[in-house]
Amino acid sequence: MSKMNQKMEAAEQVLLHTYNRSSVVFDHGKGVYLYDTDGKEYLDFAAGIAVCSLGYGNETYTNALKNQVDKLLHVSNLYYNEPITDAAEKLLKVSGMDRVFFTNSGTEAIEGALKAARRYSYNKYGSERYEIIAMNHSFHGRSMGALSVTGTEKYRTPFEPLIGGVKFADFNDLDSVKAAVTDKTCAIIMETVQGEGGIYPATPEFIQGVKALCEEKDILLILDEIQCGMGRTGEMFAFQGYDVQPDIMTSAKALGCGVPVGAFLMTERVAEKSLEPGDHGTTYGGNPLVGAAVSAVMDIYADMDILSHVNEVSAYLEEKLDKLVKNYDFVTERRGKGLIQGLVVTVKPADICKKALENGLVIISAGSDVLRIVPPLVIEKDHVDEMICKLEHTFSEIL
């Protein structure tokens, strides 16, 4: 038995089996490549599920973490710390939001956003205005609150009853949202680009229509930018490409580029009538280490002009992916924005992902029929060419 197989077998003996993991043990990364414990190289077009937007081994980022480790890791939120304030100022500036609460994960960010929305409505209208409208085929996390607004029944059913007062409408169908609104509606939550559900960007007409509806009825618009934010669509946050502003927004994944950190942000209007001391909290959230990470990520994005780079390389990626749709009958559609792309396929995506891994390419799936392509944002055009080559080789072995 190889060393890598021994490590996988050991993991299966001690870890709770909630993931069907791929047969590889990654040991380290460099640039946009990963290396397993046997030394094999893999081109990474998954980025840890859209997390590692700077790839691996960025010196400025790692030095910021090392320096903070030497200074201070944790003091709790009973006290101030400088790194998280710096991070907050930079995050608010690029998002156009006014207040932020740092969490340990995207799921926690969703939980906080839901609580903030209900608290806002409670403070303004009392206890009878509590309903939340979410979208079918959405994914917001696996805790009980986040699961309650996740629009995929198979995720929810084993854990019901979940929190009440949630309705589901159809993404990109404004009439279905309008039909779900009542005098009890306090918030509408949706991903700006649906990720796990199959890479569906919101149409401008839909997201702008929902925003207008929210403004008309004082309903809070919560946009989940956990996967599609942080530069992935070519805007710092995807909603910025639609000329709308959410009342509450969630972020995570690439926010810390590998350090576990999330956040929910809100406008001053919401903050004034929302969470108060004692309503919400976290022991670890916003500690000095994650503050240093987020602050460094913001600086690196600016120094590298990452948004311009994403827009340039994503146009090239889209061109190459469109050729796959044209050349392969089982690849029926491409959809996405920037560097969050999906290829709709008529064969099992899991089979393609497994064979691609054997060929040194890391890609993942979304929904039941989509190959999800969410590489580090620092990829170059030659990496796109290499990915296409490996993917076409994989196609030839699958068919």
Domain end, chosen from 288, 304, 320, is at 304
- Which pLDDT belongs to residue 1? 65
Q: pLDDT tier at 399 (50, 70, 90 boundaries)?
A: confident
**pLDDT of 260 higher than 70:** yes
Same domain as 53, residue 84: no
Domain end, chosen from 270, 288, 304, is at 304
DSSP state letters, 286-345? T-HHHHHHHHHHHHHHHHHTHHHHHHHHHHHHHHHHHHHHHH-TTEEEEEEETTEEEEEE
208-246 pLDDT, tens digit per residue, is 999 999 999 999 999 999 999 999 999 999 999 999 999
**pLDDT of 136 higher than 90:** yes
Q: pLDDT tier at 398 (50, 70, 90 boundaries)?
A: confident
CA–CA separation, 251 vs 298, rounded Å? 13
277-320 pLDDT, tens digit per residue, is 999 999 999 999 999 999 999 999 999 999 999 999 999 999 99
Domain end, chosen from 304, 325, 348, is at 304
Cross-strand pairs, 373: 341
DSSP state letters, 230-273? TTTTSSSSGGGGTT---SEEEE-GGGTTTS--EEEEE-HHHHHT
CA–CA separation, 1 vs 370, rounded Å? 34
Number of domains in the chain: 2
**pLDDT of 61 higher than 70:** yes
> Does residue 66 lie within any of the structural domains?
no
- Which pLDDT belongs to residue 18? 86
> Does residue 298 lie within any of the structural domains?
yes
Same domain as 169, residue 225: yes
Same domain as 251, residue 107: yes
Same domain as 200, residue 123: yes
Task: Using alpha carbons, select from 300, 93, 131, 305 the residue that is nearest to residue 220.
Answer: 131
Same domain as 132, residue 165: yes
**pLDDT of 163 higher than 70:** yes
Range of the domain at 252: 72-304
32-57 pLDDT, tens digit per residue, is 999 999 999 999 999 999 999 999 99
